[in-house]
Chain A
Amino acid sequence: MPSTSVEPTGQATGQTVLIIDDEPTARVALAARLKRLGYRVLQADDGKAGLDMLRRERPDLTILDWMMPEMDGPSFCEVVRQDPALLSSQILMMTSNDQPEQIAEGLARGADDFLSKAASKYEITARVQAGIRAAGLIKRLEDVTAEIRRKQDTLERELQSAARYVESLLPVSGTISPGVEMVRVYRPSLGLGGDLFNVVSWNHDLLGLYLLDASGHGVSPALRSASFATFLRRESLVRHVGSSDPGAILTEANKHFPLTENGHYFTIVFATLDIRSQTLSYATAGHSGVFLHRQSGEICWIAKPNLPLGFDPSTVYGTDVLSIEPGDRLYLLSDGLYEVPDATGDLWGQDRLEEVVRTLGRRPLPEVLSGAVNEAVRWLGHEQFPDDVAVMGVEFTGC
């Protein structure tokens, strides 16, 4: 290979090189050469002083002698690689003994490259430039990583703020109307959930209750749910539907919320409790999470198979009516509570949930709800539900 082809031509642009060598003659000669090439050069005459300088100055490249008293080159490398603040430093190790075994040991203990003390000035310059190049790439990687981390933090703070807003839309557990107690559970899977539920007070005797589940996870379903919740406010329903009939409400909602371009949609259960006539009228759209736990102990899942909202604009959703008695409890829930897999992928399922509710029997509503969530967590094996969990338990006390 002609010598001209390896002659480095690049011009140094003020990068810093630290030379650590206990032999002053060699160190000063190398320093002079690198200064002529335009580098800023720092010098240290042993490993310990070198480490101090590395910490203080963060040079782009460190050129390190192997043989030194107290701390030798490989030991220096080991210290650097174990220090989180220094570990990405570029280290070029110099040795007069360039046996393959020694080079292997030096690399294994943390050097990035080797330079023979007998190397030509061209080789020295070329290896220094290669080291500086690598240091530049690492620096860029570190900067980009820090930038991503900063943006991620901002994004997470915004998500948390949005999550607090969604939570603020939810009703508070307690007496929601004379004779009606409500307890709720809400555990979004990603901080920000697509499940929402609420109470619509039509008048003293008439109470609307709904729970909706937006398909997908994250920001988009949460936004769609919040917009749907606005549609389901009393004034909006009076204007758009003009009725408290659950079927009529879902039929109208179906026209307002078509499938998104990505095929996202809502499932929902909407129930209206007539306290005076002791009737429950309800409608569902592709939502099976609704059951009635009778005072008598009987549990019935009351949803009928039908299309989720947005699947077919011509769908007419019907209303079913049941009579209720004091002590009856209605549970509206998202499938996130029971579609939880165990370690083998087996789902907990509606039947097991029903069994837990049956076992807890007439215990107070908050105990039943936390008992059900605890059993689901036990099945899952950890606390992190794969999907949003939303449950609203409502007891008709009748007084």
Chain B
Amino acid sequence: MAMQTKERSVANGVVLELAGDLTYANREQFKTAVEAIRQKGCRHLILNMAEVRFVDSSGLGLLALVSQNFKLSQGKVSMLKPQSYVREIMSLANIQKLIPVYDNEQDALAGQQKAA
């Protein structure tokens, strides 16, 4: 399934709404969307995963890459509302150690304020 991305600015960050599968087939689209946000100087990227059904091993690698790239530019990445299957994949690979997972936007933003 293809992927749709939509970005929305919030206080101190950008929410990227993802819909579809985060997989090898959609990697360029995901990378392009995220890189555009990072180059605008965004310090906190919040990935809304509520509409993502599936993440494969390539998708997992991209999430790690995005987290590393934001860290290099003094930013951070958080994740919102992953579905249960995606949440399970994330926890098997312990991704929440790199990308904190939140159930709502306020908590994600608050997490950022605490870190600041």
Contact = CB atoms under 8 A, between A and B. Distances in A.
Interface string A69-110: 000000000000000000000000000000000000000000
B24 interface: yes
The dominant DSSP class at the B interface is helix
Interface stretch (B41-49, B73-81, B93-101): B93-101
A288 B65 contact: no
Contacts of B62: 263
B65 A305 contact: no
A150 to B, nearest CB: 29
A34 interface: no
B20 interface: no
A309 to B, nearest CB: 10
A262 interface: yes
Contacts of A310: 64
A319 B91 CA distance: 19
B94 A265 contact: no
Contacts of B57: 215-216, 267
A264 to B, nearest CB: 6
Q: Which of under 10, 10 to 19, 20 to 34, or 35 or more describes the interface residues of A? A: 10 to 19
Nearest to B71: A312
Contacts of B63: 263
B83 to A, nearest CB: 15
Contacts of B60: 215, 308
Given A311-B98, A312-B98, A305 B92 contact: yes
Given A216-B24, A311-B64, A263 B97 contact: no
A220 B68 CA distance: 22
A254 to B, nearest CB: 12
Given A307-B97, A307-B98, A311-B98, A259 B65 contact: yes
A307 B92 CA distance: 8
Interface in B27-81: 27, 57-58, 60-65, 68
B94 A307 contact: yes
Interface in A259-285: 259, 261-265, 267
Nearest to B88: A305
Contacts of A177: none
Interface string A229-265: 0000000000000000000000000000001011111
A311 B67 CA distance: 9
A310 B94 CA distance: 13
B91 A305 contact: yes
Contacts of A263: 27, 58, 61-65
A259 B64 contact: yes
Nearest to B56: A215
Contact of A305 (B27, B58, B94, B98): B94
Query: Which of B58, B61, B62, B63 has the most C-beta atoms of chain A within 10 angstroms of its own C-beta?
Result: B61
B44 to A, nearest CB: 19
A307 B95 CA distance: 7
B58 A215 contact: yes
B93 to A, nearest CB: 5
Query: Which of A264, A305, A310 has the most C-beta atoms of chain B within 10 angstroms of its own C-beta?
Result: A305
A306 interface: yes
Query: Which of A216, A261, A263, A305 has the most C-beta atoms of chain B within 10 angstroms of its own C-beta?
Result: A263
A54 to B, nearest CB: 46
A286 interface: yes
Contacts of A306: 93-94
Contacts of B68: 259
Contacts of A215: 57-58, 60-61
A329 B16 CA distance: 47
A288 B68 CA distance: 23
Interface of B: 24, 27, 57-58, 60-65, 68, 91-95, 97-98
16 contacts: A216-B57, A259-B64, A259-B68, A262-B61, A262-B65, A263-B58, A263-B61, A263-B64, A286-B92, A305-B91, A305-B92, A305-B93, A306-B93, A307-B95, A307-B98, A311-B93
Given A305-B93, A312-B97, 14 more contacts: A216-B24, A216-B57, A259-B68, A262-B65, A263-B65, A305-B92, A306-B94, A307-B93, A307-B98, A308-B60, A308-B61, A308-B93, A311-B95, A312-B98
Q: 9 closest pairs, A vs B, by CB?
A: A263-B61, A263-B65, A311-B64, A263-B62, A215-B57, A286-B93, A305-B94, A306-B94, A307-B94
